[in-house]
Structure 1
């Protein structure tokens, strides 16, 4: 009985440590619903794109979360205006969501000095 209890406690502790060790991956998934369709990495972070029922959601996550810095994420469906979240954040910028239907989207993201601009994607 003690062995089972010790094993259960060890498994729970390991699961807790993994959740703390990878906060960026968990954060993006926590904020956008749907399936992950693309990750666009850049020098200081990455922007993760999700799609569900014609909606596209994006979150920018820094390489080193926890320190406030300028971040931005923008998603624009072809023919529409961009939806932008910009400011000083410690863990993520976004989520921002647009209805794209079957249209292409253009994604931009920035963390500090690093940035990415996708061009038309998800066509």
Structure 2
């Protein structure tokens, strides 16, 4: 059997190398998992392109490729109110989500290509709309 200069057999050396590789991979995954969990908790994928404010809240708009994603957030969270968000691509029907919640609306996602988009959002009685902009 082959032994190295310290007298350790080759099979044992290979097993130790495999165990060390597995432990290193587990450590890397343990360090990367908290960052992945935070990224997964974001309601929309992509980069934030606009925050559109109105008196009772704001609409956050994100872009990922040719897709837009938006949701409405209350200015003072905690009170359950009717919250809605709407995206309409020029030439298409508006996509709208409405619910009663204490923090934010559901997300709306539409394929825009390079067409203008109308964004609307409301929290309680306050509302805001932005007409035909390219994001």
**Residue 3 of structure 1: aligned partner:** none
TM value normalised by structure 1? 0.74
Distance 1:54 1:74 in 2: 17
The number of residue pairs the alignment matches comes to: 96
Where has structure 1 moved over 6 Å in runs of 4 or more?
none
2:78 matches 1:79: no
Structure 1 residue 102 corresponds to structure 2 residue 114: yes
Residue correspondence of structure 1 range 1-123 to structure 2 within 5 A:
30-122=42-134
Tell me how far 1:66 sits from its aligned partner: 2.0
Q: CA RMSD in A?
A: 1.5
User: In the TM superposition, what is the alpha-carbon distance from 1:48 to its structure 2 partner?
Assistant: 0.5
Larger Rg belongs to: 2
Q: Which residue of 1 aligns with 2:31?
A: none
Distance 1:85 1:106 in 2: 14
Gaps of 5+ in 2: 1-37
- The CA distance in 1 between the partners of 2:52 and 2:42, in whole Å, is 18
Q: Could you list the runs of 5+ residues in structure 1 that have no partner in the other structure? A: 1-25
Which whole-Å CA distance do the structure 1 matches of 2:120 and 2:54 have between them? 11
State how far apart, in whole Å, the 2-side matches of 1:78 and 1:99 are: 11
TM-score where L is the length of structure 2: 0.68
Q: How far apart in 1 are the matches of 2:111 and 2:91?
A: 11
Check conservation: 2:99, 2:106, Cα contact below 8 A: no
